[in-house]
Amino acid sequence: MTPPASSLRIGIAGLGTVGGGVVKLLAAQAALIAARAGQPIVVTAVSARDRTRDRGFSVEGLNWHDNPVALAADPNVDVVVELIGGADGPAKDLAEAAIAAGKSFVTGNKALLAMHGAALAIAAEKAGLVIAYEAAVAGGIPVIKVLREGLAANQISRVAGILNGTCNYILTTMREEGRDFADVLAAAQELGYAEKPDPGLDVDGIDAAHKLAILAGLAFGVKIDFADLHIEGIRRISDLDISFAQELGYRIKLLGIAERTGAGISLRVHPAMVPLSRPLASVDGVFNAVQLEGDFSGPVFLRGRGAGEGPTASAVVADLIDIARGIKIPVWGQAASTLAPAVLTPMAAHEGAYFIRLMVTDQPGVLADVTAILRDHGISLESMLQHGRKPGEAVPIVLVTHETSEAEVGAALLRIATLPSVLEAPALIRIEP
């Protein structure tokens, strides 16, 4: 295929759901995109694992590269688009090769940026190149553009969001249909929302943590060491927890939270009880949402589809349009050389209210033993739930604490778990205001 004389020529590595979506979108909206970009944007080269696969569009006339890194050296490619995934391996090699070849780089790869974003940004900015990554966080929600451009004049104090659609789908379905985690996870895998055979990247919170690391680096102008994030997934959330949450006026969501504290920056991914009155509580299914707090803007709430062919391809092409226009924004909103290492507060220093569920033998003295331990650690209770009596049998008891410290709650639960009447490890879910 011979592109128009004046056009932005792109090479795409990865022709899966998103890569295929980019090819289709560029073809379907060619005239609109050319008008908005000031020139046509055309695909001239691609790389994928299987050349013979039917993807719903033709690759005839495109330069085909079995090795994605070869896209960087293709003379018919101006901008490299990486949609392979993975923090290392071909994705990282391609990013480095593209920059070395003097080509801007567009990616939807949150793991790559969370692990190597600072180093790649320094290399790109020295070469006067762009790294664009709107598709890496929250799919079709333009949260990167909002942080880098729309809120550029603000000090950001807090970023909180539902950053993984798979987990949100699972928790929503558990609540709406009264099913347990394992059952809904299996259904999510059949629907293609969760990976087979190992869904751990999603349900263990890693995917959300990659996205949070990117948002935090951008919001606070710091270099994030991914190993320092506190990460919990949703495997231990039970249908019982969801039922009690509803009764208490909460929804359980897997949240990524980055916030400034007096001692540094708190970065955490974990299930949280969100009051029904809060906007995040109403975000269900595969949707994502992000709430930003700027000192002059106030709260900004963004909601939309966090994954899928159309929304994510839309984000990729938005980046390509900016590059075609000649827009160059620093990768992290400021020169990468000015980013300081983040000073992170340990999770043990977190303070807040907690939901605690115990499974205990229904017998006299159980509550007295539990509350005595809580008292020893300076933890006071706001409320308690126990439904009915089953003498001698296992029953759930739910305790809601007033604000207290993570360290004291953790120490108290270690002691409570050793009580003979406590039949399994206590369940703990943090309550977000």
Structure tokens, 91? 């994705």
What is the Cα–Cα distance from 221 to 156, expressed in whole angstroms? 10
CA 328 to chain centre: 25
Between helix 406-417 and helix 366-376 the angle, nearest 10°, is 150
- Residue whose token pair is 């007096």: 262
What is the Cα–Cα distance from 402 to 397, expressed in whole angstroms? 17
User: DSSP readout, 81-92?
Assistant: EE-S--SSTHHH
CA 354 to chain centre: 23
Q: Single out the residue of 127, 165, 131, 129 nearest to residue 148, CA to CA.
A: 131
The single-letter code of the amino acid at 422 is V
> So which residues are the catalytic ones?
211
The single-letter code of the amino acid at 251 is R
Q: What are phi and psi of 212, to 5 degrees?
A: -65, -40
Peptide bond into 197 cis (omega under 30): yes
Q: Single out the residue of 159, 160, 134, 135 nearest to residue 148, CA to CA.
A: 134
What is the Cα–Cα distance from 83 to 21, expressed in whole angstroms? 11
Q: What are phi and psi of 341, to 5 degrees?
A: -60, 140
- CA-based torsion, 37, 43, 45, 46: positive or negative: positive
Structure tokens, 306? 């966090």
What is the distance between the terminal CA atoms of the chain, rounded to a whole angstrom?
Answer: 56
Report DSSP state, residue 303: E
